[in-house]
Structure formats: C-alpha cells, structure tokens
C-alpha cells in the first residue's frame, strides 16, 4: 500500500478551516507574515489537535498587504528575525497546548524564491536548525533548498494537487488562467500520477519526474472542501493510505 500525507495552508482568514482540518493529515498555520496573529494561531493549533493533524508553521515574507505573494528586497538579518518570530509563535502555542511542532513550510513568494536562491534557502535552513533540528522542512522537488538541506534537516518533497506546473518544476503563475485546477476528476488524475508514478504531466504533454511525500490543496482554492473529500475517497479506493 502506498502512503501519502495530505496538507493544507490554514489560518489564513478562510471560512472553511473547520471543514478542511478533518480531511487532512498535516496543516500549515499562517503565523503573522502574510496573515495571522496570536489568536488565529492558537485557534488553529487547537483545531489541529482535535483532529490529530500534524502541525506546521507557515512563515513568509512580512507582507500582509500582498499576502506574501510578492518577493521582498529585505536584508538577511531582518528576514531571519521575522522568520524566527513567526515559527516560534506556532511552536510556542503547540507546546502550550501539550504537543510539538511537526514541520515548517515557507509560504508564497518565499517558497518560490528558495527554489533557486541559494542565500535565502540557506537562511531558511539555518533558522529551522536554530529552532529545532528535528523539524521537517516541506520543500519543492529539484529545488536548491532540498539539496542544501541534505544531512542537515529531514525534508518532505511537496506536490500541489490544485496547481499546474512549468517545465522547471515551478508553479504556473497565478496571473495565468490555467494556474489553478478546479475540476475534481482532473485533480485526482494529477495527484494519482504524482503518487503512483512520480510523474507530473505538463499542459504541453511533457512529463516531469519526482518522488513526493506530501500533497497540498490550498484552502483558498474554489471548492477546496469538495476537492479534499473527493481525493480522500479516490485515494483510498486505489489503496493509497493518507498518513
């Protein structure tokens, strides 16, 4: 039996967190960079505990105006400081609620930048190591951060259920009409190929290959609840355990 982790970015101001949390095995909690505050983090941690979901911190550039989706020209010390503050916010609330932080997944433009930017990738690794070397780092396939983290941190390679890919493993820009997938059957076909074959089928017919540990559905994708419900049913029908 194959196994896969299903994750979702939560505590981002969406209306469906209480419906999404029971459907996933890991959550990524916004922690003040692109969205969130102490109260939203604490509520999300408690909700995750209720459904026994792995708790992750979802730090980003400090840019709530652009929801963390724009690369910032920020000096290393300032970036390091804000990432530490954000991750520790989630870590502290997990411990106050009697559990432990499981992973870290950078958000938005920062996530995209550490695919190729060696300096920022190393900075993220350094921050996570300084906080807790046992934390898992969610990373894109074939990325510089995945390579740099080898021997330093455990990584889980992440695929996106609801996004199309470019030939360099980057996600199709949200500015393009075909960036986000919405149709449930197409999303399952996309995900099943990633899990069972390690393949991503591009719009032009080309195929990328990578092995995935976790698959993300964005909470702000239209009909995200229905997508996750459908995915769970279809994965279990195909002997793939969500864990």
DSSP string covering 114-150: TTT-HHHHHHHHHHHHHH-TT-EEEE-TT-HHHHHHT
Count of domains forming the chain = 1
pLDDT at residue number 58: 98
Is the Cβ–Cβ distance between 44 and 70 less than 8 Å? no
Closest Cα to residue 162, out of 192, 188, 140, 139? 188
The pTM of this model reads: 0.96
* Cβ-based neighbour number of residue 194 at 10 Å: 25
CA distance 4 to 23: 13
Which DSSP letter does residue 219 get? T
Question: Do the Cβ atoms of 87 and 55 come closer than 8 Å?
Answer: no
Task: Give CA separation, 231 vs 63, 155, 190, 192, in Å.
Answer: 32, 24, 11, 9
Q: What is the CATH number of the domain that holds 193?
A: 3.20.20.370
159 lies in which domain range? 2-242
Cα(236)–Cα(2) distance, integer angstroms: 10
Q: What are the φ and ψ backbone dihedral angles of 71, each rounded to 5 degrees?
A: -65, 135
Q: Pick from 240, 91, 117, 220: which is nearest to 163 by CA? A: 220
pLDDT by residue, tens only, the chain of 243 residues: 589 999 999 999 999 999 999 999 999 999 999 999 999 999 999 999 999 999 999 999 999 999 999 999 999 999 999 999 999 999 999 999 999 999 999 999 999 999 999 999 999 999 999 999 999 999 999 999 999 999 999 999 999 999 999 998 988 988 898 899 999 999 999 999 999 999 999 989 999 999 999 999 999 998 999 999 999 999 999 999 998
Torsional class of 68: left (φ above 0), alpha (ψ -120 to 50), beta (otherwise): left
**Structure token digits, residue 25:** 């095995």
């Amino acid at each position: 039996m194959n196994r896969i982790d299903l994750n979702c970015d939560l505590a981002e101001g969406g209306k469906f967190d209480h419906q999404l949390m029971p459907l996933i095995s890991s959550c990524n909690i916004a922690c003040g960079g692109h969205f969130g505050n102490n109260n939203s983090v604490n509520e999300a941690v408690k909700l995750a505990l209720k459904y026994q979901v792995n708790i992750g911190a979802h730090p980003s550039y400090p840019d709530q105006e652009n929801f963390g989706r724009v690369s910032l020209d920020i000096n290393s010390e300032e970036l390091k400081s804000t990432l530490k503050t954000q991750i520790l916010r989630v870590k502290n609330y997990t411990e106050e609620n009697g559990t432990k932080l499981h992973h870290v997944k950078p958000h938005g433009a920062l996530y995209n930048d550490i695919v190729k930017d060696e300096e920022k990738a190393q900075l993220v690794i350094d921050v996570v190591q300084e906080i807790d070397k046992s934390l898992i780092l969610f990373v894109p396939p074939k990325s510089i951060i995945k390579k740099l983290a080898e021997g330093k941190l455990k990584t889980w390679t992440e695929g996106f259920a609801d996004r199309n890919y470019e030939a360099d493993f980057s996600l199709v820009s949200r500015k393009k009409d075909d960036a986000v997938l919405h149709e449930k059957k197409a999303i399952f076909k996309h995900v099943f190929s990633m899990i069972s074959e390690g393949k991503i089928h591009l719009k032009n017919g080309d195929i990328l290959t990578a092995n995935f540990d976790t698959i993300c559905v964005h909470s702000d994708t239209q009909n995200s609840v229905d997508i996750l419900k459908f995915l769970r049913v279809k994965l279990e029908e195909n002997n793939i355990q969500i864990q």
